[in-house]
Structure 1
Amino acid sequence: MDAALARAFEETWPAAEYADAGGFRVGRGLGAGGRVSSARPVGIWTVADIAAAEAIHRGWGQQPMFRAPDGDTALVQALLAAGYRHDTPTAIMAAPVSALADRDIPPLTTFAIWPPLAIQRDLWAAGNITPARQAVMERVTGPRTAILGRIDDRAAGAGFAALCGDVAMVHAVEVLPQFRRRGLAGWMMRQVAVWAAEQGATRIGLAVSRANAGARATYDRLGFVEVAGYAYYAKDL
């Protein structure tokens, strides 16, 4: 990732607190998932720093976990040697705001709202966006919005977007299972683009599991391209 996208990736989905262990920065996620509960390289690290980061995790009562960028063979080998297991390969994708502004959104299909409505919180909770993950949104200090998606005259999808510099990052996209594969996620992403343009953003970024073929296909059709990737490496608490 370039520096602007990397900064947006971290600042629009922040941990509750951070602690440094040599060349690693460890996030305290308070149960909000791997993104905010992992250690990531921020400088030159040593094998001893891996143990120090693990100690911070254990002191916080969270699973020891690292986020290793694709291509960082030295870190991956060190983590495997320390007993960590590979998990959840993830792609980071980006697109120009203009790529998603090539058509009008059908009336009453999407809305950008902050703070989130109760129905949006219910939609998140029905998926994998637990209250602990929703609490991450409240920690964002920059411009932010919650996206509501509607289909068949009912609320069916929710997402979150936040701005850092000229990058709008998208997180927590959920569509109810019975309404998937009908294009709603695409319209929600186009609503993000409308909001992002109003905020002066020129790019939209997101992270998606490589195993999520349906979401990857949607983002491909919308003009997103993969720009980086990472995987988690974890061991039992």
Structure 2
Amino acid sequence: MSVDWAAIVDGTWPAAAYQTQGPFQLRQGQGGGSRVSAASRIGDVTDADVDAAEAAMQAMGQKRIFCLRPGDEALDAMLAERGYDILDPVNIYSCPARQLTDTPIPRVTVFDIWEPLAIMREIWAQGGIGPERLAVMRRAKGLKTGLLMRHTDQPAGTGFVAIHDGIAMVHALEILPDHRRKGMGVWAMRAAAFWALDNGAETLSVICTKANAGANGLYHSLGMEIVGEYHYRQRV
């Protein structure tokens, strides 16, 4: 069965509002970043359609930004001609959640907690994940949780997991600099897998920019496979 990964992303990391503008779905991000602000194609596009989408995004007080997925090559070329720059090419990884539950997680290494504790909000803030992105997490309507990682009896990192249509997706995984390269990302993903299974999700997924070599290496090392990709084009 094919998975609509765009729907999984929207379901687990939702925009504040959605509206249809001709052949585009527009997102109102309220400062929550590209993922919740970019327009995506839902039909055949003309130059006039792009003009209208640009005007609508600017009317929202947002940048002109589009999300391009496989199948959007014609729109991609059209935007390139208009001077749009490529931004943040992304991989989507997935694996059966049970694949990551073969090893017990050491005691007091990862806790699943919702609402986020103050220390979790502080760790996210250090990684540039501020109140606008916390608002995105709160908007997710399905089952969700936060992850708090600990290492040498200290807070080490945090993350967010939400479920949509039977698939759990990890977002905003942030490890503090002093605790990186110590396996905390592995334990976070394993904890997310246990939580996913406990809450009825058989599949675990995560999004990662292609430029993040460390994170891509982590997901490859866990046997996760690339199941989708997308990038943005933005015009300042």
Give the TM-score normalised by the residue count of structure 2: 0.96
Pair 1:38 & 2:38 matched: yes
Pair 1:57 & 2:54 matched: no
| Rounded Cα–Cα distance in structure 2 between residues aligned with 1:203 and 1:4 | 13
Query: What is the identity percentage for the equivalent residue pairs of Structure 1 and Structure 2?
Result: 43
Distance apart, 1:47 and its partner CA: 2.3
> What are the superposed Cα offsets for residues 143-197 of structure 1, whole Å, 9 maximum, x if unpaired?
0000111001011100000011210011000001111111101101111111100
Counterpart for residue 162 of structure 2: 162
One-letter amino acid of the counterpart of residue 47, structure 1: D
Pair 1:85 & 2:85 matched: yes
Secondary structure of 1:3's aligned partner: coil
Kept in 1, the 8 Å contact 2:168–2:204? The answer is yes
Distance 1:49 1:141, change over 3 A: same
1:208-223 paired onto structure 2 within 5 Å: 208-223=208-223
Kept in 2, the 8 Å contact 1:146–1:161? The answer is yes
| Rounded Cα–Cα distance in structure 1 between residues aligned with 2:2 and 2:122 | 35
Secondary structure of 2:136's aligned partner: helix
Counterpart for residue 142 of structure 2: 142
Distance apart, 1:112 and its partner CA: 0.7
Secondary structure of 2:88's aligned partner: strand
Counterpart for residue 190 of structure 2: 190
Counterpart for residue 8 of structure 1: 8
| Rounded Cα–Cα distance in structure 1 between residues aligned with 2:3 and 2:184 | 31
| Rounded Cα–Cα distance in structure 2 between residues aligned with 1:52 and 1:75 | 14
Counterpart for residue 177 of structure 1: 177
Distance apart, 1:111 and its partner CA: 0.8
Distance 1:4 1:197, change over 3 A: farther
Distance apart, 1:205 and its partner CA: 1.3
| Rounded Cα–Cα distance in structure 1 between residues aligned with 2:20 and 2:127 | 32
Moved more, 123-132 or 62-71: 62-71
One-letter amino acid of the counterpart of residue 146, structure 1: G
Kept in 1, the 8 Å contact 2:41–2:72? The answer is no
Distance apart, 1:75 and its partner CA: 1.3
Distance 1:228 1:4, change over 3 A: closer
Kept in 2, the 8 Å contact 1:167–1:204? The answer is yes
One-letter amino acid of the counterpart of residue 130, structure 1: G
| Rounded Cα–Cα distance in structure 2 between residues aligned with 1:101 and 1:217 | 19
| Rounded Cα–Cα distance in structure 2 between residues aligned with 1:128 and 1:2 | 34
Moved more, 191-200 or 19-28: 19-28
Kept in 1, the 8 Å contact 2:91–2:228? The answer is yes
Distance apart, 1:4 and its partner CA: 4.4
One-letter amino acid of the counterpart of residue 231, structure 2: A
| Rounded Cα–Cα distance in structure 2 between residues aligned with 1:161 and 1:106 | 20
User: Paired residues, what number?
Assistant: 236
Pair 1:225 & 2:213 matched: no
One-letter amino acid of the counterpart of residue 178, structure 1: D
Secondary structure of 1:98's aligned partner: helix
Which 5+ residue runs of structure 1 have no aligned equivalent? none
| Rounded Cα–Cα distance in structure 2 between residues aligned with 1:203 and 1:150 | 25
One-letter amino acid of the counterpart of residue 153, structure 2: D
